[in-house]
Amino acid sequence: LASAPPIQLAEMYFRLHPEEVDPVWGNPCDDARHKKIWSKTKNCESLPKFLVIGPQKTGTTALYTFLSMHNSIASNIASPDTFEEVQFFNGNNYYRGLDWYMDFFPADTLPNTSSPLPTALGSPRYMFEKSATYFDGEAVPKRAHALLPHAKIVTILISPAKRAYSWYQHQRAHGDIIANNYSFYQVITASDSAPRALKDLRNRCLNPGKYAQHLEHWLAYYPAQQLHIIDGEQLRLNPIEVMNELQRFLKIQPLLDYSNHLRYDVKKGFYCQAVSEKRNKCLGKSKGRQYPSMDERSGKLLQRYYLNHNTALVKLLKKLGSRPIPQWLKDDLSTGT
């Protein structure tokens, strides 16, 4: 009996099973046999218990910041490369493997220094990760579910037209050449014969706002009870109630009363962290940007563009039950003819 060398064997195997070329990482802790042979230094706790999936520009940084104030909650450590989101499930980082991902979640019990609460030393913290592009990433729900089937999924929705405009302004502020060379109207009306870079920008601007479609994709993997939808306008206007509801959904203990820790800042025009009696710590300039309001023509066009998607969202929210229809959704639909 002879066997081919490992590389040849692997090549042969993948020729027979091409569908397995793209890896899908499962959770070693869900299989007793895997767990048994796993290194003693690995810990099943080193994975997030919930994901904030976005989409971009809906208030994800505010939510992330408010969550991080809670002493029983910890986010991933900052990426040494980018100091930004981990973005594991959507891009090439996925191929860096499970160890790479788990290193972002050291199972420590260190006090959360940015938290206003006393530390419950010894109790593991409820870990989470926020990557705002997960929401509309094609491969993300499948990959996330394979690794974290019990995780809770948190998403924030605002008017898709408003989101698209905020995203366009964000791209301009980041020096995107196309966004700086074309008006918002030109971007959202770019035809399929437009230059490729412009079409790409149009798609990245508009596609995440097709909320129902993306949510259905998540719901094909996760049961509805594991999905929490936050109305982003409520997060902006009434974050204390939103944070209370979220803590109840996540079953976080102890419950942090955010009314003692968040305060509306008149100058910023948003809620900020109350760090002392007089001082607030707000998000940076890139969150809550100043820019001219959307032109009427673009507003009308987007209302028509998102009409079917918004109608599908109402249907979906009704199907999911006990989820209120956000006011912005009613407004978008009432004039979208």
Q: Which residues are catalytic?
A: 57
* Nearest in space to 110 (alpha carbons), one of 87, 98, 127: 127
Minimum Å distance from CB 69 to ligand A3P? 12
Of residues 253-272, those binding ligand A3P (CB under 6 A) = 270-271
Which lies closer to ligand A3P via its Cβ, residue 217 or residue 268?
Answer: 268
C-beta separation of 73 from 120 below 8 A: no
CB closer to ligand A3P out of 54 and 141: 54
Q: Is 235 in the site for ligand A3P (CB under 6 A)?
A: yes
Question: Is the dihedral angle over the CA atoms 295, 301, 305, 307 positive or is it negative?
Answer: positive
**Residues 136-195 interacting with ligand A3P (rule: CB under 6 A):** 166, 169
The answer to whether residue 305 forms part of the interface with ligand A3P (CB under 6 A) is: no
Instruction: Tell me the residue type at 217.
Output: H
Site string for ligand A3P, 61-100 (x = CB under 6 A): xx--------------------------------------
Residues 6+ apart with CB under 8 A from 234: 241, 242, 326
Are the CB atoms for 331 and 159 separated by under 8 Å? yes
CB nearer to ligand A3P: give 73 or 102. Answer: 73
Min dist. Cβ of residue 282 to ligand A3P (A) = 6
Pick the closer one to ligand A3P by CB: 49 or 57.
57
Position among 70, 210, 236, 263 found at the interface with ligand A3P (CB under 6 A):
236
Q: Are 55 and 135 in contact (CB under 8 A)?
A: yes
Provide the minimum distance between the beta carbon of 60 and ligand A3P in the complex, in angstroms, as a whole number.
Answer: 3
Instruction: Please enumerate in sequence order all residues whose Cβ is within 8 A of that of 164, keeping only pairs 6 or more positions apart, or say none.
Output: 188, 205, 206, 209, 302
Angle formed by the axes of helices 239-250 and 60-68, nearest 10°: 70
d(CA 143, CA 39): 23
Q: How far is the CB of 85 from ligand A3P (least distance, A)?
A: 11
Helix, strand or coil, per DSSP, at residue 140: helix
The span of 2-10, 15-23, 283-291, 304-312 binding ligand A3P (CB under 6 A) equals 283-291
Residues at the site binding ligand A3P, with contacts judged by CB under 6 A:
56-62, 132, 166, 169, 235-236, 270-271, 283, 287-289
